[in-house]
């Protein structure tokens, strides 16, 4: 009888794991397809409006840095066809967007260190053989480091977008007073803090060295990877080619950015109740576990000492994590 119960429990856990894995796989495929679609639309729009090929992207695909000739990067490129996290071109773009001086080899080494820490923790807290934890630990290490790089890049881009309306106002005032556009951009680079000041100062320096202003703007737009920066580059490019009121176009862009920021704050206020409810519901299992541990340790300790209890804890933690991810995605709105 006990063996039958163990067999049924194993089948149940395996079924739940398969269903959860298929669900996560479908979600990742959908998100990756949508991301590729948006990237493709952005590239097509940039080439159509600027009338130039994306030379940097082509050069990035053909050339490799000196540090990219290591065995780690060769293995990463071979596996990148099957694992999106191992796409070194995307990783280089994310690292550059985050403003980090990190090579692909250093990224892999840091991922291995994080994987070693995760594998050590899993070995000490579970009864699984270390050999079975090697591959999951590697994936966890790469995922965490890649998530950190993307998070830092998004933080830099968000700070840039918050500073951009004021920078546009400075450019508009300079244009209306009769100054050239590149001089107005250089003024923004000198008067504002990073990241806006650094990027605009780099644009001014590249133009001073002989690079066309439209190419310098598109270079920055590819790093920031936001449609508002694309619109800024398109507006200046069209104004240079066909003429028109650049001050009015930039003024409309600044107003749009401020309206979107106000809308984001409204959405944040409206969804705060749902987020608070999600935090309370998600914290209840941990609070109850802590209270039971304090009140009756003998009743709770089998969850940590018995293999069946450990499996139940892992299944429960996975379910809570999936629920938290779904609720987080439900509260994310794109404007």
Q: Is residue 327 part of a domain?
A: yes
Q: Is residue 78 part of a domain?
A: no
Q: Is 238 or 24 the better-scoring residue by pLDDT?
A: 238
pTM: 0.64
User: Within this chain, do residues 318 and 233 fall inside the same structural domain, yes or no?
Assistant: no
User: Within this chain, do residues 227 and 327 fall inside the same structural domain, yes or no?
Assistant: no
Q: Is 9 or 249 the better-scoring residue by pLDDT?
A: 249
Domain boundary among 51, 73, 88: 51
User: What's the confidence (pLDDT) of residue 17?
Assistant: 65
Q: What is the dihedral of CA 148, 215, 36, 199, to 10 degrees?
A: 20
User: Within this chain, do residues 258 and 275 fall inside the same structural domain, yes or no?
Assistant: no
Q: Which two tokens stand for residue 253?
A: 């862009």
Q: Which segment of 6-15, 213-222, 279-288, 305-314 scores lowest on mean pLDDT?
A: 6-15
CB 232 within 8 A of CB 216: no
Range of the domain at 195: 158-266
Q: Is residue 233 part of a domain?
A: yes
The listed range with the strongest mean pLDDT (1-10, 176-185, 265-274) is 176-185
Q: Is residue 64 part of a domain?
A: no
The packing angle between helices 181-191 and 196-208, to 10°, is 140
Q: Is 262 or 274 the better-scoring residue by pLDDT?
A: 262
User: What's the confidence (pLDDT) of residue 8?
Assistant: 56
58-86 pLDDT tens trace: 444 444 444 444 555 555 555 665 565 66
User: Within this chain, do residues 241 and 312 fall inside the same structural domain, yes or no?
Assistant: no
Average pLDDT rounded to a whole number, residues 140-163 = 87
Domain boundary among 51, 71, 92: 51
User: What's the confidence (pLDDT) of residue 273?
Assistant: 79
284-291: which pairs have CB atoms within 8 A and are 24 or more residues apart? Answer: 285/316, 285/320
Residue 140, pLDDT above cutoff 50: yes
User: Within this chain, do residues 280 and 317 fall inside the same structural domain, yes or no?
Assistant: yes
User: What's the confidence (pLDDT) of residue 65?
Assistant: 45
DSSP track, 223-242 = HH--HHHHHHHHHHHHHHHH
Write the CATH number for 196.
1.20.81.30
User: What's the confidence (pLDDT) of residue 84?
Assistant: 55
User: Within this chain, do residues 262 and 183 fall inside the same structural domain, yes or no?
Assistant: yes
User: What's the confidence (pLDDT) of residue 77?
Assistant: 58
| H/E segment holding residue 95 | helix 88-98
Q: What is the dihedral of CA 304, 305, 309, 310, to 10 degrees?
A: 60
Q: Percentage of the chain surpassing pLDDT 90?
A: 1
Q: Is residue 287 part of a domain?
A: yes
User: What are the φ/ψ torsions at residue 246 (nearest 5 degrees)?
Assistant: -70, -35
User: Within this chain, do residues 248 and 294 fall inside the same structural domain, yes or no?
Assistant: no
User: Within this chain, do residues 282 and 221 fall inside the same structural domain, yes or no?
Assistant: no
Structure confidence at residue 4 as a pLDDT band (50, 70, 90): low
User: Within this chain, do residues 279 and 232 fall inside the same structural domain, yes or no?
Assistant: no
Q: Is residue 6 part of a domain?
A: yes
Q: Is residue 145 part of a domain?
A: no
User: What's the confidence (pLDDT) of residue 37?
Assistant: 58
Indicate the number of domains in the chain: 3
| H/E segment holding residue 198 | helix 196-208
Structure confidence at residue 53 as a pLDDT band (50, 70, 90): very low
Output the CA–CA distances (angstroms, integers) from residue 288 to 4, 296, 310, 313, in the order listed: 31, 11, 17, 14
Residue 104, pLDDT above cutoff 70: yes
Q: What is the mean pLDDT of the chain?
A: 77
User: Within this chain, do residues 300 and 212 fall inside the same structural domain, yes or no?
Assistant: no
User: Within this chain, do residues 259 and 286 fall inside the same structural domain, yes or no?
Assistant: no
User: What's the confidence (pLDDT) of residue 13?
Assistant: 61
Number of H helices, E strands in the chain: 15, 0
237-252 pLDDT tens trace: 887 777 667 888 888 8
Residue 160, pLDDT above cutoff 50: yes
User: Within this chain, do residues 258 and 203 fall inside the same structural domain, yes or no?
Assistant: yes
The listed range with the strongest mean pLDDT (6-10, 199-203, 276-280) is 199-203
User: Cα dihedral sign for 191, 196, 198, 201?
Assistant: negative
Q: Which two tokens stand for residue 221?
A: 């737009």
Residue 52, pLDDT above cutoff 60: no
Q: Which segment of 126-135, 182-191, 291-300 scores lowest on mean pLDDT?
A: 126-135
Q: Is residue 65 part of a domain?
A: no
Domain boundary among 266, 293, 318: 266
């Amino acid at each position: 009888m006990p063996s039958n119960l163990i067999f049924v429990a194993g089948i149940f856990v395996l079924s739940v794991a398969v269903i959860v894995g298929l669900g996560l796989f479908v979600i990742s495929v959908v998100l990756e397809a949508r991301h590729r679609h948006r990237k493709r639309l952005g590239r097509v729009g940039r080439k159509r409006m600027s009338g130039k090929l994306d030379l940097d992207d082509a050069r990035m695909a053909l050339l490799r840095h000196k540090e990219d000739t290591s065995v780690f990067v060769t293995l990463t490129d071979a596996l990148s066809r099957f694992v999106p996290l191992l796409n070194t071109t995307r990783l280089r773009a994310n690292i550059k967007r985050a403003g980090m001086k990190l090579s692909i080899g250093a990224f892999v080494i840091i991922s291995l260190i994080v994987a070693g820490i995760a594998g050590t923790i899993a070995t000490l807290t579970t009864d699984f053989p270390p050999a079975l934890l090697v591959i999951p630990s590697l994936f966890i290490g790469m995922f965490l480091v890649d998530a950190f790089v993307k998070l830092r890049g998004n933080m830099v881009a968000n700070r840039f977008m918050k500073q951009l309306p004021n920078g546009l106002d400075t450019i508009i005032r300079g244009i209306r007073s009769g100054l050239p556009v590149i001089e107005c951009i250089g003024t923004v680079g000198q008067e504002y803090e990073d990241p806006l000041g650094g990027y605009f100062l780099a644009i001014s320096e590249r133009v001073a060295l002989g690079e066309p202003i439209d190419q310098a703007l598109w270079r920055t737009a590819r790093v920031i990877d936001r449609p508002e920066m694309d619109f800024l580059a398109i507006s200046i490019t069209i104004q240079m080619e066909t003429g028109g009121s650049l001050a009015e176009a930039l003024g409309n862009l600044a107003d749009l950015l401020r309206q979107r920021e106000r809308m984001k704050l409204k959405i944040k206020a409206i969804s705060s109740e749902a987020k608070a409810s999600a935090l309370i519901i998600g914290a209840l299992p941990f609070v109850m576990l802590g209270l039971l541990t304090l009140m009756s340790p003998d009743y709770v300790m089998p969850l940590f000492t018995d293999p069946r209890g450990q499996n139940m804890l892992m299944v429960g933690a996975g379910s809570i994590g999936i629920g938290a991810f779904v609720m987080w995605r439900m509260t994310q709105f794109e404007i």
